[in-house]
Amino acid sequence: MKNYGKELNQQTTSTENKSFVFGIFINFLRPSAYQTSILDIDLDQLKDQGIKLIICDLDNTLVPHFTKFPTKYAKKFVDSALEKDFDFVLLSNNTSRRVGFFAEKLGLTDFISGAKKPFPFSIKKEIKRHNLTPAQTVIIGDMLVTDTLAANFIGAESILVQPLIDGEQTWNKILSWTEKKVFKKLTKENILIKKTDDATKILSEKYELL
């Protein structure tokens, strides 16, 4: 005869272990802050917190991944950051040809291409090159499993923003599933509040080319 009590305890222990592991996973993907748009980011507050370096993801954060030229939306954010004397670095897993082109058009001298996010090696190297520390750095991006995770690996601040286009069009299916799962968990914990009511109001500005 089966020992149902023992079997139930084993199932309970297994569930608790999975929950514990998922909890640790969630913490690695927890951003410092969440904003609907990069234009909602309070740059003065970042400066007050001692942030000196902004490392910002390119595709789906500053511009949609299919955009070949910078937009007024992206230019406005970069110009605002430069006017406030932030060091600004463009970050992407994309090619140096694409990232370098956007950096030049946005008036930036520094960029990281082929970054291999979430691995933080190239990011750490760039922070050191600026003679700064991770604590003085914020990484901005649209993905928890690449941008936020990279920031948490090195102890930098992170700001998660809503993707500029439907994620299903660009994310790998596995990453998309993970992203949604974690996002749902963080939202339940009131860590994130996803704003969708006014998200379409600035779409025309986001896609307007320079």
pLDDT range class, residue 180, cuts 50, 70, 90: low
pLDDT band for 130, please (50, 70, 90 cuts): very high
Residues 12 and 95 in one domain: no
Amino acid at 4: Y
Specify the number of domains making up the chain: 2
CATH number at residue 54: 3.40.50.1000
111, 17: one domain:
no
> Is residue 15 scored above 60 in pLDDT?
no
User: Residue 55's CB: how many other CB atoms inside 10 A?
Assistant: 27
The answer to whether 143 touches 61, Cβ cutoff 8 Å, is no
- Specify whether 171 is located in the same domain as 105: yes
85 and 13 fall within a common domain: no
Q: What is the pTM for the complete model shown? A: 0.73
Rounded Cα gap, residues 91 and 117, in angstroms: 9
Q: Which residue segment(s) compose the domain that 19 sits in? A: 1-30
DSSP, collapsed to helix, strand or coil, labels residue 168 as helix
